[in-house]
Amino acid sequence: MLRFSKIGRLRSFVAVILIQLFSETTARSCEGRCGERATSCSCQPTCEALLECCEDFKQFCVEISPHSGSLLGGTDFRIVDVLFDRKVNLTCRFKSETVTQGYVDTDGVGHCVSPMLFESGWVPFDVSTDGVSYSRSGRWLSVHHSKLAEAARLTLVNETQWQYYGTQDVGGALEMAWDASLINAQRVNVELWGYNETGEPYSERWRAEWTYLYSVSRDVPNSGRFRFVPQLPSAPLSAWDVGSVRVGPSTEPDGARNVNALWSDGHALAYNLDEVFRRDPAAWALGRCLQWDQEEKHLPRFLSEITDCPCTLAQARADTGRFHTDYGCDIEKGSVCTYHPGAVHCVRAIQASPEYGAGQQCCYDHTGAQVLTGDSIGGSTPDRGHDWGSPPYIKPPRVPGFSHWKYDVITFYYCCLWSDNCHYYFSHRPSSGCRAYQPPKSASVLGDPHFITFDGVTYTFNGKGEYVLLHSSNHELTVQGRTEPMKSGNGSVIMATRLSSVAMRENGSDVIEVRLSDWPDHLQVLLNQKVLSFSEQSWIDLKGVEARARGGVMTLTVLLPHAFKHHTQGLLGTMNDDPDDDLTSSDGELTAANSTAQDIFAYGAQWAITNETSLFTYDSEFLLNEYFFAPKHDPTFTPNFSVSEDPSDPLLQPTLKMCAGVWVAFCKYDTLSTRSLEMGNNTLLSLRNHANTVRDLQPVMSCGWLQPPSHGQKEGTLYLEGATVSFSCNPGYHLYGPQQRTCHSDGQWSGSETYCLSDDSLGIVLGTVGAVLAMVAMVVAIVVYNKKQKREKMKESEDRNTASVQLNVAIP
């Protein structure tokens, strides 16, 4: 018995040791633990810079190349820094649901293919070598197809020919081109796919779908070019009018999904439509337009929940927090505005509407005025489907790009491009104007560093540390800034600081950090502590926060909409149109803007953050020592609160010559403290940019669109304060009402509505008016007579009453 107990205890002891060893080994491994931190090593993105990664970090927390591609899928990407046995069954699983087949090449490098996704943004994926255990993980960037570089897409040569094929004088062979190196095959198939959204709109049964239609050609050389003459499709296939061309390996079955391939942009499948379309395109298109008109009448109206457009082109280009350039009509790229003739630049609202996921598009002409659909086919139009999609994506009408094509673009072809019936389209997609638009307020941090609050207060705070620039508890928005001492050309420390990093988060979103890089005038962007590469994609939405690097110094601009009024605090002040309370500390203590530099320095120090509230990434020994383990406001760093202007200083005269105007003090301080004219000039440029932004975002009063009178015209399409619109009538018609109306500062048009009446109509109207006046005169006469009779009777009554009184009085 004793012996058995000893053996039992021995076995238990061995088991404990084995469990301990297993636990310790697991704790030192990143298998299935990417993003976590163990006791002895790390699997977090910052571990490489801190030299604390677990030994198998790169084996299980994989990097890939390329790391981005079209949301339509088909990109072959390599798993770097890992070698695989060629016999393994390599698969990749995206978002724990979509599995694609991978392979191992002759060098032992693993490859996977990105799947078709109905969303854009970062998508997690896992890698398996047995099809069962997915222990390796990474991230894939799914990109809106139209935002891809040209080289990553199949190009439709002469796209207009493709989308007008079968209309008058448009036919012949269609041509496409692609980068043959992106398809791992000697021969390819050319396929046509159609896009549709089915089910009851705005219900759980509403679905987006891509359907293989047919192969245009099979087993053709992967030469990078292909031509064909479209043939009339069979009846069921001709119902598809939106889709894309796909080129993929001929070894894959027709319509195989999630295989290595290149896709064209979504487009109108004019060449796929039936013989009825080719016989009379306008009549066919009108039928579709009328059908859509009826369908649209039964869908929820979304116009009331979309944001109004900026009133001017200057506002639209300055309000970068809410609007972004529409890549289909960009003034910086030659203003090729296919769908908006007469416009030179369009922007889109970045955020979709809250309930229906709708979008807003705003277009402007060469004068800077908004182009409206009431005046031009090229006018601004709202969208039932936001072109860039909207979270949570996946379902209609939130699928990036293609929901927009389904509800807003192909319908424009029906009513406006393939037929001349735009009035149907614009009855559902009218320009919303700008009467309700409220420009955002702007605040900046620039130079070494100077602050301009939302209410226009300017001050300098040269603390070293990490601080709250902006916090809004109501909107759950936090923006933090890190400052560091500046250095001269010889490396010595200057007793002034600069903004070196900005971190932000809104409403539980990812944390975005923008910081100065080791390369001059370059910025590094981090998403959740991981450095982003812009080698493949160059656009990222920073939600109204802009950061620029110039002359080794970061300049920050923050734009906030009107909804943040009375709901901000931090070093950028209280946004409430009252500059007197902008320098309010976190505990409510007020510092006057004209206080001494020392008092303002003490005020700024109170906005230091804590490690618990910090959004920053500490991925180097320098950052750990200087900011994480050190006080968040360095009490040992005392800046130069002022600079002397020594007449013998050779830098003084060039400084005085350069620094002029309202910003002279900031310019002189930065130039003389850093001993650099370049630094002072960069500060001056940043200050002027801020002033221009504030100027461009000044409120503009709009009186709203004025329609021309029936049987007449109007001259003038500007509807802002001070603008005048003139009216005239067609031959045979006469103007009734004001010939001109002017937009007043109260947002109202002068005068009353203007009419154009024909001679006959005018005679009838005048005759009617005369008859009405005669009737009115008769009624007035009767009323006057009746009143006269009534007065006479009342007078008799009054006489009797008076007499009665008198009599009463007279009786003793």
E-strand ranges in 561-613 read none
Each residue's pLDDT tens digit, 610-646: 999 999 999 999 999 999 999 999 999 999 999 999 9
pLDDT value of residue 547: 53
Residue 722 confidence (pLDDT) above 50: yes
Pair of tokens at residue 585: 């500390």
458 pLDDT band, cuts 50/70/90, is very high
Higher pLDDT pick, 519 / 486: 486
- Close Cβ partners of 285 (under 8 Å, ≥ 6 residues apart): 277, 413, 414, 415, 418, 419, 421
Distance CA 552, CA 663 (A): 20
Angstrom distances, CA of residue 395 to CA of 199, 352, 399, 621, 707 = 11, 14, 6, 45, 38
Angstrom distances, CA of residue 85 to CA of 62, 90, 300 = 17, 10, 55
35 pLDDT band, cuts 50/70/90, is very high
pLDDT value of residue 26: 53
Mean pLDDT of 97-109: 96
Distance CA 669, CA 534 (A): 35
What percent of the chain shows pLDDT beyond 70? 88
Residue 21 confidence (pLDDT) above 60: no
Angstrom distances, CA of residue 356 to CA of 299, 309, 385 = 11, 18, 8
Mean pLDDT of 18-32: 60
4 pLDDT band, cuts 50/70/90, is very low
Residue 452 confidence (pLDDT) above 90: yes
- Close Cβ partners of 90 (under 8 Å, ≥ 6 residues apart): 84, 101, 102, 103, 104, 110, 111, 112, 127, 128, 129
Distance CA 715, CA 378 (A): 18
Virtual CA dihedral for 776, 780, 783, 787, nearest 10 degrees? 170
Each residue's pLDDT tens digit, 492-521: 889 999 999 999 999 888 899 999 988 777
Neighbours of 723 (CB within 10 A): 17
CB 219 within 8 A of CB 157: no
CB 145 within 8 A of CB 71: yes
Mean pLDDT of 45-64: 94
Residue 777 confidence (pLDDT) above 80: no
Q: Pairing mode, if any, of strands 755-758 and 493-506?
A: unpaired
Residue 179 confidence (pLDDT) above 60: yes
pLDDT value of residue 234: 81
Pair of tokens at residue 141: 């960037």
Distance from chain centroid for Cα 202: 23
Does the CA dihedral 768-769-773-779 come out positive or negative? positive
Instruction: Of 299-308, 331-340, 396-405, give the lowest mean pLDDT range.
Output: 331-340
Residue 797 confidence (pLDDT) above 90: no
Cross-strand pairs, 195: 210
What are the backbone dihedrals phi and psi of residue 548, each rounded to the nearest 5 degrees, phi first? Answer: -135, 150
What percent of the chain shows pLDDT beyond 90? 81
Distance CA 636, CA 634 (A): 5
Neighbours of 18 (CB within 10 A): 10
Strand order in the sheet with 724-729: 712-715, 724-729, 740-742
Whether the bond between 397 and the residue before it is cis, its omega within 30 degrees of 0, is yes
Cross-strand pairs, 42: 37, 53
Mean pLDDT of the chain: 89
pLDDT value of residue 28: 83
DSSP structure string for 321-353: TTEEE-TTS-GGGT---TTSTT-SEEEEESSPP
SS3 457: coil
pLDDT value of residue 27: 63
771 pLDDT band, cuts 50/70/90, is very low
CB 42 within 8 A of CB 54: yes
Q: Pairing mode, if any, of strands 187-198 and 207-221?
A: antiparallel
Higher pLDDT pick, 383 / 789: 383
Residue 679 confidence (pLDDT) above 60: yes
CB 180 within 8 A of CB 224: yes
Mean pLDDT of 267-287: 96
Distance CA 632, CA 482 (A): 9
SS3 298: coil
Higher pLDDT pick, 471 / 768: 471
pLDDT value of residue 800: 33
User: What's this model's pTM, rounded to 2 decimal places?
Assistant: 0.86
Strand order in the sheet with 493-506: 465-472, 477-487, 493-506, 512-516, 523-527, 530-531
Instruction: Of 30-44, 411-425, 586-600, 730-744, give the lowest mean pLDDT range.
Output: 30-44
Distance CA 687, CA 564 (A): 24
Distance CA 550, CA 446 (A): 10
Residue 670 confidence (pLDDT) above 60: yes
Mean pLDDT of 649-659: 95
* Stated length of the chain: 812
pLDDT value of residue 73: 97
Angle at which helices 664-674 and 677-696 cross, to 10°: 150
